[in-house]
Chain A
Amino acid sequence: MSVQKAHPDQKYIEGLKQDNSFVIREIYDKFAPKVIHFICQNNGDDAQAKDVIQEVLLVIYDQACIKDLKLTCPFDAYFFLLCKRRWYNKLKKKKLDTVTIKEEIVSEHEGANHLEFETSLFQDQQELFKRMFGELGKSCQDLLKKSFEIDSMKKVAEKLDISYAYARKKKSLCIGKLTEMIQNSPHYKNLKS
Chain B
Amino acid sequence: MKEQEYILIENYLADDLTAKELGDFEDKLRTDLEFRETFETYQQVSDQLKHEFTHYSEKEAVKKSIDKVANTYFEKKKEQPKKSSFKPWRIGVAAMILILVGIYAYQEFSTPVYSDYNQYPTVSFQSRGEESESLREAEEAFNSHQFAEAATHFEVLVKGNDNVEYKLYWAISLVETDQFEKADQLYLDILKSESVFVHEALWFGALSKLKQEDNKAASQLLSQIPEESDRYKEAQKLYKKLN
Contact A149 B45 (CB under 8 A): no
Which residues of A in the span 171-189 have a Cβ within 8 Å of any Cβ on B? 171-173, 175-176, 178-180, 182-183
Q: Give Cα A172–Cα B137 distance, bound, in whole angstroms.
A: 120
Closest Cβ of chain A: how far from B38's Cβ, in Å?
Answer: 6
Query: Given A58-B66, A179-B41, do A50 and B74 touch, yes or no (CB 8 Å)?
Result: yes
Contact A19 B70 (CB under 8 A): no
Complex interface: chain B residues within 8 A of A66 (CB):
47-48, 51
Residues 140-181 of chain A, each 1 if its beta carbon lies under 8 Å from chain B, else 0: 000011011101000000000000000011011101101110
Q: Give Cα A183–Cα B9 distance, bound, in whole angstroms.
A: 16
Contact B73 A175 (CB under 8 A): no
When C-beta atoms are compared, the residue in chain A nearest to B77 turns out to be A46
Q: Give Cα A16–Cα B2 distance, bound, in whole angstroms.
A: 39
- Is the C-beta of B124 less than 8 angstroms from some C-beta in chain A? no
Contact B10 A175 (CB under 8 A): yes
- Is the C-beta of B54 less than 8 angstroms from some C-beta in chain A? yes
Contact B56 A149 (CB under 8 A): yes
Complex interface: chain B residues within 8 A of A76 (CB):
none
Question: Which of A32, A65, A145, A180 touches B73 (beta carbons < 8 Å)?
Answer: A32
Contact A179 B48 (CB under 8 A): no
Complex interface: chain B residues within 8 A of A173 (CB):
3, 6-7
Contact B2 A175 (CB under 8 A): no
Closest Cβ of chain A: how far from B17's Cβ, in Å?
Answer: 13
Complex interface: chain B residues within 8 A of A32 (CB):
73
Closest Cβ of chain B: how far from A12's Cβ, in Å?
Answer: 13
Complex interface: chain B residues within 8 A of A179 (CB):
6, 38, 41-42, 45
- Is the C-beta of B193 less than 8 angstroms from some C-beta in chain A? no
Question: Which of B11, B41, B50 touches A182 (beta carbons < 8 Å)?
Answer: B41
When C-beta atoms are compared, the residue in chain B nearest to A178 turns out to be B45
Closest Cβ of chain A: how far from B131's Cβ, in Å?
Answer: 81
Contact B38 A57 (CB under 8 A): no
Question: Which of A16, A129, A151 touches B48 (beta carbons < 8 Å)?
Answer: A129
- Is the C-beta of A54 less than 8 angstroms from some C-beta in chain B? yes
Q: Give Cα A32–Cα B62 distance, bound, in whole angstroms.
A: 18
When C-beta atoms are compared, the residue in chain A nearest to B37 turns out to be A183
Complex interface: chain A residues within 8 A of B45 (CB):
129, 175, 178-179, 182
Question: Which of B38, B51, B54, B74 touches A151 (beta carbons < 8 Å)?
Answer: B54
Contact B48 A126 (CB under 8 A): yes
Contact B54 A145 (CB under 8 A): no
Query: Given A19-B61, A54-B70, A144-B53, do A176 and B77 touch, yes or no (CB 8 Å)?
Result: no
Closest Cβ of chain B: how far from A58's Cβ, in Å?
Answer: 7
Complex interface: chain A residues within 8 A of B59 (CB):
58, 61-62, 65
Residues 141-167 of chain B, each 1 if its beta carbon lies under 8 Å from chain A, else 0: 000000000000000000000000000
- Is the C-beta of B46 less than 8 angstroms from some C-beta in chain A? yes
Contact B62 A144 (CB under 8 A): no
Residues 87-130 of chain A, each 1 if its beta carbon lies under 8 Å from chain B, else 0: 00000000000000000000000000000000000000110010
Listed in ascending order, the chain A residues whose CB lies under 8 Å from chain B are 16, 19, 21, 24-25, 28-29, 32, 36, 46, 50, 53-54, 57-58, 61-62, 65-66, 125-126, 129, 133, 144-145, 147-149, 151, 168-169, 171-173, 175-176, 178-180, 182-183
- Enumerate 20 A-B pairs (CB-CB under 8 Å) in ascending A order: A16-B62, A21-B68, A28-B69, A28-B70, A28-B73, A54-B66, A62-B51, A62-B59, A65-B55, A66-B51, A129-B45, A145-B53, A147-B53, A148-B54, A169-B7, A175-B6, A175-B42, A176-B9, A179-B41, A180-B2
